[in-house]
Chains A and B, each alone.
Chain A
Amino acid sequence: MRLFISIFMIYLGFQLLSANAVEDFSVIDKPNDNGGAIVVSWKEMVAETEKNFFYQIMIAEQEDGPFYPLEKMAYPLKGKGFEVKGYNKEGEESTLVVPNKTYFVKMKVLNGDKSETTVSESEIISVTTKGNFFAFNKLNSFLILIFLTVVIMCFIVYAQRNPHKLFVRRIAGLDAMEDALGRATEMGRSALFVHGLRSVSEIPTIAAINILGKIAKKIAEFDATLRVSNWDPIVQQVSQETVKEAHIEAGRPDTYKSENIFFAAGDQFSYAAAVEGIMVREKPATIFYFGYFYAESLLLSETGAHTGAIQIAGSDAFTQIPFFITTCDYTLIGEELYAASAYLSREPKLLGGLKGQDVGKMAIILILILGTLFTTLGWQGFSKLFWPS
């Protein structure tokens, strides 16, 4: 009888261990990356055992350890793999996985109770990280970039040869710009240009600076005053340079005053408070808002409307455009902000870029129509070509 019970217990122990053994454990270097990650995969355990066990990946820099634990997982991800980008050594800050280094990885199954004893352990697998020169999963992005670049370059060349043949539809907000500046000149008041809250390296800020140049040139021609409020010191410096060049282009370098392009404040709502103060005290005749705005958009444009100024806004901040539409006289929506500088200056480079973007949009419309049609007919192959990485 004792022998029978002993054999039965040993059998149960083996069963328990085998039920919770790590199966199909694999460790690979993450493909299409800079060598800063490894991917760990394993077969999902049976559902009943998941509630009672934890799974823990252990990583080491030497085969004989020490092994550093990663976070415990109650529900392992089936088939998807777990990405390891770093680990914590004892008493040290987070250590990142680096390229061209060999790591040793194993997986432990731990008891779900307080003891957290090891139930089973996988074999140790070594993996050497490697940086890839080309991310093939981003091939579609790369090809679209090449296509758009070629189209834009072709249109720039065409625009340079035939500057008057390229048509751009009317944009009401931009047509009103000259009238608004004329109003400021006639009233003897200043125009105020309010920058959005993004740094100089962001696309909406670059578009806003382009428009600022065109406005500043008109202002210099009209001999009016332009004040430019900035949230970022670097944007302020670039704006100063842009306005200065616009004055030189207009043949009025003497009317440029660097103090008119000022740093208002470095925080969102203090910036709003400072610009609101300027609006109510100086009462500019015209106010421009160009760039990316956040919650301060309504505070600014409502105050501007209260002072009776003509207001023209341009932003690609989807959540703030409604506020500009309700409080400003004219609003440039999204893409119109990027088209503005080409529309105002009719410079071949900018016009070519605008035309190239239109061809890009045409291509996107065609892809969407074909993709939707093929998907409806039951073939996803075409649309998958344009799925993100």
Chain B
Amino acid sequence: MSNIDTTTIATSKKSDFLVFAIFFSIIIIVNAILLGSGHLKWGLEGVGIMMGAAFTISLYSFLYKDNPLFKMAEHFYVGVATAYLIIVTWYSVILTDVIYAFRDLTKAPFSSSVFWQMVAIILPTLIGLLVYTRIIPRFAWMSKITFSIIIGFGSGLAIPNLINAYILEQAKPSMTALWTSAGGFEWNAIIVFIGVISTLIYFFFSLEHKGAVGATAKVGIWFLMVSFGASFGFTVMARFSLLIERVNFLFHDWIPLIK
């Protein structure tokens, strides 16, 4: 490593330390004032609010640029999420569905039903354990058995349901009357009909988008863009409500600026 690199890293470490020192000093002072004034109470809830506020500000600091505070919050977040995942998997899957379920079966009087229930626990567990054969390169091929079962099982389960959900469920409301003697032309149904047919033609890969097919596909892409625009607006509104919730947390729950 060159001298320049070493100097850059040393300067970077120094500035990182400075950022941490300033940030935590401010956080400590603000929290001390809030505790002193009685707005925050010392205890699990109070500490939770203080930590939540520190992490929220650290994560929002990414809006300026990548910095040591964001790095710290990011690593905490990833670590806590992974730990949570391990705990959830252990308590709600391994312990409940494998260990306790098998223990309960061993206590029950043996019968063919109990035997098949045991098989239903042991077989998937063994298939799952095969993933760990990847640790030993010689037996790594065995992990492919697990992957093929998961993918095959998932596809087999999904495809028939997709036909029902993505074809039949969509086709039923699309096949409505375009004109009725009582109401005349049903404009909503006409728009839906044109939209569905033209969008389907856009997703037709066997024909070049030229001539009549091209024109119809263009109508289809317009329908798609209109729906995407509506979806975009709707989601942006939802995101704003998330931002408002965070601002409310910072300036109501933590620092009482919003009454």
Interface residues of A (CB under 8 A from B): 138, 140-142, 144-145, 148, 167-171, 199-203, 206, 234, 237-238, 241, 264-267, 269-271, 273-274, 276-277, 280-281, 295, 298, 318-319, 321-323, 325-326, 333-336, 339, 343, 354-355, 358, 361-362, 364-365, 367-369, 371-372, 375-376, 378, 383, 386-389
Q: How far is the CB of B186 from chain A (nearest CB, A)?
A: 9
**Nearest B residue to A375, CB-CB:** B177
**A376 and B78 in contact, given A241-B144, A361-B204 (Cβ under 8 angstroms):** no
Q: How far is the CB of B149 from chain A (nearest CB, A)?
A: 9
Say whether B118 faces chain A, with CB atoms less than 8 Å apart.
no
A372 touching B206, Cβ below 8 Å = no
Nearest-CB distance from A265 to chain B (Å)? 4
**Which of the 9-residue segments B12-20, B43-51, B155-163, B243-251 touches chain A?**
B155-163
- Known contacts A335-B203, A358-B205; A270/B81 CB under 8 A: yes
- A267 contacts B81, C-beta separation under 8 Å: yes
Instruction: Kindly identify which residue among B151, B167, B174 contacts A201, using a CB–CB cutoff of 8 Å.
Output: B151
What A residues does B239 contact at CB under 8 A? 295, 298
Return the contact of A361 from the options B131, B189, B203 (Cβ within 8 A): B203
Q: Using Cβ atoms and an 8 Å threshold, which residues of chain B touch A386?
A: 168, 171-172, 175
Give chain B's interface residue range (CB within 8 Å of chain A).
35 or more
**10 pairs, CB–CB < 8 Å, chain A vs chain B:** A140-B168, A169-B205, A169-B208, A201-B155, A202-B158, A237-B147, A273-B59, A322-B229, A368-B174, A388-B168
Please classify the interface of chain A as helix (H, G, I), strand (E, B), loop, or mixed, using the class held by over half of its residues. helix
Q: Is the CB of B154 within 8 A of A200?
A: yes
Question: Who on chain B is nearest to A319 by CB?
Answer: B231
Q: A111 to B77, alpha carbons, bound, how many Å?
A: 55
Contact A141 B171 (CB under 8 A): no
Partner of A237, one of B134, B160, B169, B231: B134
Whether the Cβ atoms of A202 and B205 lie closer than 8 Å is: no
The complex places the Cα of A170 from the Cα of B214 at a distance, in Å, of 13
Residue among B84, B134, B150, B200 making CB contact with A200, cutoff 8 Å: B150
Q: Is the CB of A203 within 8 A of B71?
A: no
Within 8 A of A (CB), among B60-77: 62, 65-66, 70-71, 73-74, 77
Bound-state CA distance A153–B228 (Å) is: 35
Nearest-neighbour CB distance to chain A for B104, whole angstroms, equals 13
B80 CB contacts on chain A under 8 angstroms: 270
Chain B residues with CB under 8 A of A343? 205
Residue of B nearest to A199 (CB): B154
